[in-house]
Amino acid sequence: MPDHRELQERAFEANRAIVRAGLVVLTFGNVSCVDRAEGVISIKPSGVAYEDLRPDEMAVIDLETGDVVAGGRRPSSDTPTHRVLYRRFADVGGIVHTHSPAATAWAQAGRDLPCLGTTHADHFRGAVPVTRALVSEEIRGSYEELTGEVIVETFESRGLEPLETPAVLVASHGPLAWGADVGRAVENAVALETVAGLALQTFALKADVASLDDDLLERHFSRKHGPGAYYGQER
């Protein structure tokens, strides 16, 4: 039987990280990471308080079937959403879902989060999109799985690259962020909440503020991402 302890440990530490970052209260949120070679993900168990989490109880799920293969706890109710995103976004290695206040406010308003400044452009190549609302049949059906499909639909219809815009606002629900690995996913979730709060404050000061100039957006994004990146140290 495969040993999933290292994957469970990574998922455990990432879930602790979003608490330390102030992105969650109560049990509002979850982080997962994937082992594509083994075809499994590890995710927070459903409804378990963060202070009670243990690495060996992190749920391990077969990516294709959804079967629990390790962990002994019922996985997060959002697991089907995560599974859809891993299957459809092949370069994603970790996913974070929270109900962080500023990003959730944009999701509840059903508004894209515009790129207003270079702080945003350092992490997201343009606006963070909001999905369409799910219709009644989707809500009454395989709700969490269809939430994932609506996210994929949003990216495909807008021609967005998941690792260039590594976040989404699910209408009336809340944000998800992701990355090439789970550490980057946590970083992007922190960045998302930060720029969502900055945007709220900016619009309070100037209601008709314009989005960031495209040239400045591209310069700030490309200096941290892509083949010409020169910000920071090599990973």
Number of Cα atoms under 13 Å in the Cβ half of residue 90: 1
Helix, strand, coil abundance in the chain, percent, nearest 5: 40, 15, 40
Contact (CB, 8 A) for 71 and 57 = yes
Number of Cα atoms under 13 Å in the Cβ half of residue 38: 18
> Whole-angstrom Cα distance, residue 124 to residue 146?
25
> Whole-angstrom Cα distance, residue 193 to residue 137?
31
DSSP 117: S
Active-site residue set = 122, 231
| Tokens 């550490």 sit on residue | 183
> Whole-angstrom Cα distance, residue 56 to residue 103?
31
CB environment 85-106: b (16+ within 10 A), e (fewer): bbebbeebbbbbbbbbebbbbb
Measure CA of the first residue to CA of the last residue in the chain; give whole Å: 32
